[in-house]
Chain A
C-alpha cells in the first residue's frame, strides 16, 4: 500500500489519517504515572481500543456528512452513550478498589478520574473529526499538520491545575503538647498513648497550606480535595501504618479562624523535600473548585444595574 495508492482513494486517506490522529491523541493522554492507574496492560488495551473506536467514529463522520448521509450523526450520539459507560466502568472499578486502600482516594477524586476518562474520548473524536475534515477540504499535508496540532494541544492541556496554584505550601513543625498534636498552629488531634506520641514525633511530617484567595479557601476546605492530598502523598511516599491503627492515619484539618489547612502524615520514606513536592503537585479536583468571589461580584453588579 503506497502513498499514491492512498491518495487515489481520498475517502480512505481521510478516515485513516483521522483515525490515526484520534488514537494518537488518546494514547498520548493515557498515562500511567505515580497514581498507578491505569497501570495494568489490560487496562491500557481497553482504553486504546476505545480510543480507536472514538477516532474511527470521528473520522468516518466527515465523509458520511459530505455524502449527505446525515444519519451518521446519530452514531455520534450512540458513541456518547458508550463513553458515558466508560465513566461508569471507571467509577465502579475505582470505588471497589478504594475499599482495599490504606489511604483511600475518596469519592471526589474517583469522580474526577472517571470524568477525565470520558472527556479524553471526546477529545480524540474531536481530533479525528478535525483531521478528517481538513484532509477532505485541503488535502493530506494540511491534514497531517492539523493532526499534529491537535496532539500538541492535547499535551499542552493534559495537565490540570495543581494545588500550588491556589495555595502556599510550607513545611511546618509537628508539635506534641501533652496529648495535643499540632501542625504549626493548627490543632490536629488528641493522642493518648506514649507509644503513638513517640512514633508521631519520629515519623510525622507536617504541612501548612495557606489559601491564596477566598476561592482557594473554599477549595481547601473541601473534604474530597483533602482526601486527594492524603492519598497522593501516601502513594508517593508510602504510609507508616496498618489496618486497624486509627491513630496513625494521615489527616488534614482546617484552622477554622485562619482558613489554613494543616496536613499531617507519616510517610514510609522520610524525605521532607519530596513530600513538599508531592503536596504541591496534587491535582486540583474539578468538583472542589468553587468561585464564590466571582458569583458574588456578578450578583452585586446585577443589583447595581437593576437598582
Chain B
C-alpha cells in the first residue's frame, strides 16, 4: 500500500513513498499510516517500512 523510508532513493514504481527525516519520524509516520489505512506495518530494513493490507 505504501512505503515509509528515510532513504531518498531505492524505491520506484506505483507505490506512494513517504520520506521521513529520522528514525523517530519513521516510526511516527508508519504508526499514523497503519492506523489510517487499517494496515500492517512491516520492517523491510533499518530505514524502511512497508505497509501491507491484511484481511
Known: A246-B54, A246-B55. A190 touches B38 (CB 8 A): no
**A191 interface contact, C-beta 8 A:** yes
What is the minimal beta-carbon distance from B22 to any residue of chain A, in angstroms? 14
A190-B43 Cα distance, complex, nearest whole Å = 7
Task: A203 to B25: give the CA distance in the assembly, Å.
Answer: 26
Report the separation of the CA atoms of residues A22 and B41 in the bound assembly, to the nearest whole angstrom: 56
Are B41 and A193 in contact (CB-based, < 8 A)?
A: yes
Give A266 Cβ to nearest chain B Cβ, in Å.
14
A interface with B by C-beta (< 8 Å) = 178-179, 189-196, 243-247, 249
- Identify the closest chain A residue to B43 (Cβ): A179
Residues of B within 8 A of A194 (CB): 27
Q: Can you name the residue of chain B whose Cβ is closest to the Cβ of A197?
A: B43
| In contact, A246 and B27 (Cβ under 8 angstroms) | no
Selected from B30, B34, B42, the residue in CB contact (under 8 A) with A190 is: B42
Query: B55: which A residues are within 8 A, CB to CB?
Result: 246, 249
Tell me whether B54 and A249 are in contact (CB under 8 A).
yes
**Chain B nearest Cβ from A264, distance in angstroms:** 14
Q: Using a CB-CB cutoff of 8 Å, which residues 3-53 of chain B contact chain A?
A: 27, 30-31, 34-35, 38-43, 49-50
A245 to B55, CA, bound (A): 10
Cβ B27 vs Cβ A179 within 8 A: no
Complex partner residue of B27 from A189, A193, A243, A244, CB under 8 angstroms: A193
> When A246-B54, A246-B55, A249-B55 are in contact, do A192 and B38 touch as well, CB less than 8 Å?
no
Provide the bound-state CA to CA distance between A243 and B49, in Å.
22
Q: List 15 A-B contacts (CB under 8 A).
A: A179-B42, A179-B43, A191-B42, A192-B42, A192-B49, A192-B50, A193-B30, A193-B31, A193-B41, A195-B27, A195-B31, A246-B39, A246-B40, A247-B40, A247-B41
